[in-house]
Amino acid sequence: MPKYQIYFDTIQGEMKYNVDIDEQEVLDDVLHEILYDLRERGDVLQGDGEPQVVWNGNSLEFSRPLPQQGVRPNDVLRVSTIATNG
């Protein structure tokens, strides 16, 4: 199973996860599991809004597997929040 490095911008600072993600697994499912684990440990994303995952300066789609978006094993992803209006 391919492994990816994911950095999360939390209120406690940057946190790094090495994550195994199946080639057909969508980012939405994986991200929910990791964010749940972070909350269980008392860590939350910095800022208010929806999470976004960025790779090579591009925001990734949560509904598509990473390989379909050009992401390769061992690539570095960053998770932060997008401020929502209103």
What's the CA gap between 66 and 37, in Å, rounded?
21
C-beta separation of 50 from 84 below 8 A = yes
For the stretch 34-47, pLDDT in tens is 888 888 988 888 88
Q: Is the pLDDT of residue 3 over 60?
A: yes
pTM: 0.82
What's the CA gap between 82 and 41, in Å, rounded?
23
Read off the pLDDT band of 62 (50, 70, 90): very high
For the stretch 7-20, pLDDT in tens is 999 888 898 988 88
For the stretch 22-32, pLDDT in tens is 999 998 888 88
What's the CA gap between 72 and 75, in Å, rounded?
6
Q: Which domains does the chain have, with CATH numbers?
A: 3-82 (3.10.20.90)
Q: Give the residue ranges of DSSP H helices in the chain.
A: 27-40
Mean pLDDT over all residues of the chain?
88
Q: Is the pLDDT of residue 85 over 70?
A: no
- CA distances to 28, 51, 57 from 66, rounded to whole Å, are 11, 16, 15
**3-10 and 76-82 as β-strands: parallel, antiparallel, unpaired?**
parallel
Measured in whole angstroms, how far is the alpha carbon of residue 30 from the centre of its chain?
8
